[in-house]
Amino acid sequence: AKMCGANPPLNPVRAAGVQPILGCEVNVARPTGGVDHLVLLAATKEGYKNLIGLVSEGHLSPANPIAPSITLDQLEGRSRGLVALTGCLGGVVAQRVLELGPDHADQVLGELKERFEPGHVFVELQDHGFPEQPILNDVLVQAARRLDLPIVASNDVHFTSKDDGPAQIYLECVRQGRTYEQAEPLHHKSFEMYLKSPEEMGALFRALPEALSNTLRVAEMCSGLKLDLGKPMLPHFPVPEGYDTASYLRHVAHNGLEERFREFAAHGKEVDTTAYRERLERELDVIVGMQYPGYFLIVWDFIREAKQRGIPVGPGRGSGAGSLVAYALGITEIDPLPYNLLFERFLNPERVSMPDFDVDFCMARRDEVIRYVAEKYGVDSVGQIATFQNLKARSVIKDVARAMGIPAQEAQRLASLVPEKGQGKMFTIEEALEVEPKLKHLVETDERVAELIRQSKKLEGLTRHAGMHAAGVVISDGKLWDHVPCFRSDATIVTQYDKDDVEAAGLVKFDFLGLKTLTVIDIAERLVNARPDRKDDPLKVSKLPLDDRATYQLIASGETTGVFQLESSGMQQLLRQLKPDCFEDIVAVVALYRPGPLGTGMIDDFIGSKHGRKPIRKLHPLVDEVLAPTYGVPVYQEQVMQIAQRLAGYTLGGADLLRRAMGKKKAEEMARQQQIFVEGALKNGVPAETATAIFKEIEGFASYGFNKSHSAAYALVTYQTAYLKAHYPTEFFAAALTADKDKIEKVVRTIAEARAWGVSVLPPDINASETDFTVVYAHPDGRGKSTGKFRDPYGPQIRFGLGAVRGVGEAALETMFEARRAGGPFRDLFDFASRVDAKRLNKGVLEALVQCGAFDSVLEPRGISRARAFAAIDRALERSRSATRDRERGQTNLFGLFEQAGGGNGAASSGDEYPAAEEWDRMELLKREKAALGCYVSGHPLLRYQGKLGRLGVVPSSKLAEQKPWSTACVAGMIENYQERLFKGGAGGRAAFFEIEDLYGRVKAKLKGERIETFAFLLTSGDPLLVSGKVSFPMGTEESDEE
């Protein structure tokens, strides 16, 4: 039993003006095994704390992995402020009576009476029509009177009305994987488990009026619960002797700012140090005044620790990048002053709210930082936050259909009639009935479908299961379960409240996010610094100058595949038009490429004004400077705040409140704000008519303005990835391939992009490959002449990583590399098999390695093909098993002696061990290679047609983004990921979605309506095809789309 919905401040019952009773039906362990139920209600603040502690202990104890429970002994000294109800038929008293007889009621009731305060144990009576309940109730009433315990009438409420009884059974079926027929005979009486009216309860317990009146007594006992929740509770941050948190924050912030000044000087950057120091003091005064220095120190500490460990940390995220204190502490890496980033957008002194730093870490090492925090503050004080997955329309239809015994294929067909809204959103069942005629017709004509939809609608939206928030971590002062109920997921403590409930309970949430791009940058930087020309002059990506010409040329070209935030085809089209040539332009383009601005003409105004085709619009001389970085076009929320400050005399805190009010669009509040704005503007000499017009304009803009602090921080990551691609494409592509080795679509696209840049991608090699993609140099002396877009005298190439070969797991890789380190390069398949531990080598691993060409370098010189090597796999596995047995017995065969005497190189087998086999033609070889790697490396089915494609006017996928929107283009390639589904409802809502893979990457495509029947057989044939269609650039896609 959990308390997931019981958080007092946000309880919807309280919001409706009703005092909620907080409690939980806990499991009580029997000495003989199994669990019974006991209802515990919180009557006081101490009782609430005892309740969440008991519930948490039941879930956190390793002794209760399946059925979390407590014992009656755990109630000793922990029951103050709690009211106990003896529960339902599964309760501790009822079960003792039903199993052992009526004489045992007094014993267990006596145990409860001893453990709770006088008058706090109520003997619970229920009547749902089960035959044993009247007899049991008589026993309980008599025992209660003997022990002078009050009785109370209740109903075991599982749903609100009697009509929902079948839906409750279906819900149990969904959770237990049963059918309705299996469950219904056992639960038909449970139809009485609904919220009954006072009249219904009065009729059931007419003979026991005190049982009814005691319900009010219980409610009154619990109505006095007052909890001091909502006030942030930060953990204690240890500071050196002589400091408190406020003075220590000032100390480290001032030291950090002086260090930034030294960095500025080293890079020739001149700044007004007085302005920086004044801004720092102003921010510190606000932070200390709002009592948040501890929060800043906690974040500073774990980010500093991460950087000291070499864990990549993002330059900032969200509004926190607007804080100079954060920049001085190294929490962020974007200087807020040059870009007019505002502290008040992050922490408003006129609006009491917690600061909220969202911190990006390298995806691979994020958990290491969380472990550090747990070690520092105590494992009992650190946990992750629960999330709750709800039953969605399609999934609930399939689940209920399964319970009804409807075949899976039919259930899938019915569920697919619920259309998609786009951008990952789905229609509800009710909405689907309005927009999808087929579904509505089936409901009206097929009673079975009508029942399916009727019950599915009742379950839609209910919680399916609890999980963990991807990023949210809470750190408490003391044990976490002293503040909120918790459960355990594997070894991790997780709150039973979600993120909103946790914060409402007073705990402070820290977001530890994983950003894969940081992993790419980190790998690329290490690869660059391993180059022959960088060993004595290491690259520091975090310290790059922001005026690199080659970087802006790359961005302006739109060739930004792999560049953070700039990958989609629509964005690439925008970049070619806008042609960013400074960092402010990158900040702006990230903010502009969103649905709001895209539909307003703002982008056209921005581009036209930047390139002089349109005059830069002047709003008013007092604020024209604010809009200058965006060529007179308002783009950011911070610009709204600055306009209000300069034109109407708002404080920046007040301007932030204005911005928030504009976003909410409440008429009464907006009228009040407009009056304040106009009156303030009049004091600055701005006519009321002008001020009113400007207010209306920024009011309209505020709904789609973007947070510049976030945009600037992420633009820095964008710039860093673009710089790496522009200057070190081989290392950049290798890093991207390593980070995405489990995502084949991205591997395909990155390999194609690398080749377009003249970077060779070498196939996997059993002797030359590592787990990750690596860089090798064809000309380590620096005298090579490479071709392509980028000329590198060292001739770097990318070697395919064995960790990206399908079916080759970590255990197999580990034993391969151990054998290679110990005995040197493998001589052939049989030498490999004899040296690798057979317990971690299986047929699938060898098949994948042979088919992907990993043995080509040792077998092709001897004239042994992949087909013959594939035919020899069973023999090689037997050799592996035999050699492993010999090693375990301490025996060494003749080859082993040769290995020891000859410097570690094993002996190659004779060619006779490779049986004759039918050779694979080129298409078969490529097909098998793709099956092992997910992509083509040694060749491509289109290569044989390459000379003809240009004459046919075929557009390479890499050039499709350069086509005009809705122009017609022809693409050639292999068809991948073909699927059909419904979209947006209505007639003709069927569509086929697929991808076309050519030599340069993949492009998404869509086929609608009747054409699906015409072309489906071709699209699923496995043959190369020519596809002609219209080009579009939808938001958020990573490739162009064709229709």
pLDDT in tens, 777-792: 888 877 776 555 667 8
Confidence of residue 984 (pLDDT cuts 50, 70, 90): low
CATH number, domain 12-157+195-223, options 3.40.50.150, 3.40.1210.10, 3.20.20.140, 3.40.50.300: 3.20.20.140
CA distance 843 to 934: 19
| pLDDT for res 655 | 92
Q: Whole-model pTM?
A: 0.87
Q: Which of 663, 721, 653 shows the shortest CA–CA distance to 322?
A: 653
What lies within 8 Å, CB to CB, of 860 at 6+ separation is none
Q: Name the percent of the chain lying above pLDDT 90.
A: 64
| pLDDT for res 980 | 80
Structural domain boundaries in the chain: 12-157+195-223, 245-387+469-516, 519-718, 728-804, 810-933, 943-1042
> With 50 as the cut, is the pLDDT of residue 871 above it?
yes
* Maximum C-alpha span of the chain: 102
Buried b (16+ CB within 10 A) or exposed e, 587-601: bbbbbbbeeebeeee
| pLDDT for res 390 | 87
Tens of pLDDT, residues 465-506? 788 887 889 999 999 999 999 998 888 899 999 888 888 888
| pLDDT for res 888 | 83
Q: Are 750 and 722 in contact (CB under 8 A)?
A: no
The one-character DSSP state at 4 is: T
Q: Which of 935, 661, 692, 979 shows the shortest CA–CA distance to 798?
A: 935
CA distance 524 to 775: 10
| pLDDT for res 786 | 54
> With 90 as the cut, is the pLDDT of residue 991 above it?
no
The pair phi, psi for residue 990, each rounded to 5°, is -90, 140
Q: 943-1042, which class in CATH?
A: mainly beta
CA distance 473 to 703: 30
Q: Name the percent of the chain lying above pLDDT 70.
A: 93
| pLDDT for res 1039 | 36
| pLDDT for res 114 | 95
Confidence of residue 808 (pLDDT cuts 50, 70, 90): very high
Mean pLDDT of 384-403: 92
| pLDDT for res 423 | 59
Mean pLDDT of 584-595: 93
Of 595-599, 641-645, 720-724, 811-815, the range with the lowest mean pLDDT is: 595-599
The one-character DSSP state at 263 is: H
* Cα-trace Rg, the chain: 34
> With 90 as the cut, is the pLDDT of residue 952 above it?
no
Confidence of residue 1043 (pLDDT cuts 50, 70, 90): very low
Do β-strands 463-475 and 382-390 pair in parallel, antiparallel, or remain unpaired?
A: antiparallel
CA distance 343 to 712: 14
Q: Are 899 and 823 in contact (CB under 8 A)?
A: yes
Residue type, 354: M
> With 60 as the cut, is the pLDDT of residue 144 above it?
yes
> With 70 as the cut, is the pLDDT of residue 1037 above it?
no
Q: Are 593 and 574 in contact (CB under 8 A)?
A: yes
Specify which residues 422 forms β-bridges with.
425
> With 60 as the cut, is the pLDDT of residue 175 above it?
yes
Burial class (CB in 10 A: 0-12, 13-18, 19+), 721: buried
| pLDDT for res 1038 | 39
CA distance 980 to 1016: 10
Specify which residues 511 forms β-bridges with.
358, 472
CA distance 750 to 663: 40
CA distances from 1028 to 219, 893, 1041 (A): 71, 63, 12
CA distance 22 to 49: 11
Mean pLDDT of 397-408: 93
More confident residue, 953 or 475: 475
Q: Which of 749, 745, 920 shows the shortest CA–CA distance to 850?
A: 920
| pLDDT for res 953 | 86
Mean pLDDT of 1007-1013: 81
Instruction: Report the number of secondary-structure helices (H) and strands (E) in the chain.
Output: 44, 21
Q: Are 813 and 803 in contact (CB under 8 A)?
A: yes
CA distance 467 to 302: 25
Alpha helices, DSSP H, located in 311-407: 324-329, 366-377, 393-404
Tens of pLDDT, residues 286-315? 999 999 999 999 999 999 999 999 999 999
Burial class (CB in 10 A: 0-12, 13-18, 19+), 268: exposed
CA distance 760 to 777: 11
Buried b (16+ CB within 10 A) or exposed e, 883-901: bbeebeeeeeeebbeebee
* 3-state secondary structure (DSSP) of residue 854: coil
Specify which residues 1015 forms β-bridges with.
none
Q: Which token pair is 319?
A: 């509004």
Mean pLDDT of 690-714: 90
Specify which residues 968 forms β-bridges with.
1030
* 3-state secondary structure (DSSP) of residue 782: coil
Q: Which of 538, 542, 543 shows the shortest CA–CA distance to 269?
A: 543
| pLDDT for res 187 | 61
What lies within 8 Å, CB to CB, of 314 at 6+ separation is 359, 360, 361, 513, 515, 518, 713, 717
Specify which residues 1026 forms β-bridges with.
972
CA distance 625 to 645: 13
| pLDDT for res 989 | 63
Alpha helices, DSSP H, located in 824-921: 829-835, 843-851, 856-859, 866-871, 873-888, 894-901
Do β-strands 121-125 and 151-153 pair in parallel, antiparallel, or remain unpaired?
A: parallel
Average pLDDT taken over every residue of the chain: 89
Q: Which of 307, 213, 203, 198 shows the shortest CA–CA distance to 256?
A: 307
CA distance 409 to 420: 19
Mean pLDDT of 845-868: 95
Give the position of tokens 């259309």. 419
Residue 991: Cβ within 10 Å count: 19
Q: Which of 57, 47, 48 shows the shortest CA–CA distance to 506?
A: 48
Burial class (CB in 10 A: 0-12, 13-18, 19+), 504: middle
Confidence of residue 514 (pLDDT cuts 50, 70, 90): very high
Tens of pLDDT, residues 11-21? 566 667 778 88
> With 60 as the cut, is the pLDDT of residue 897 above it?
no
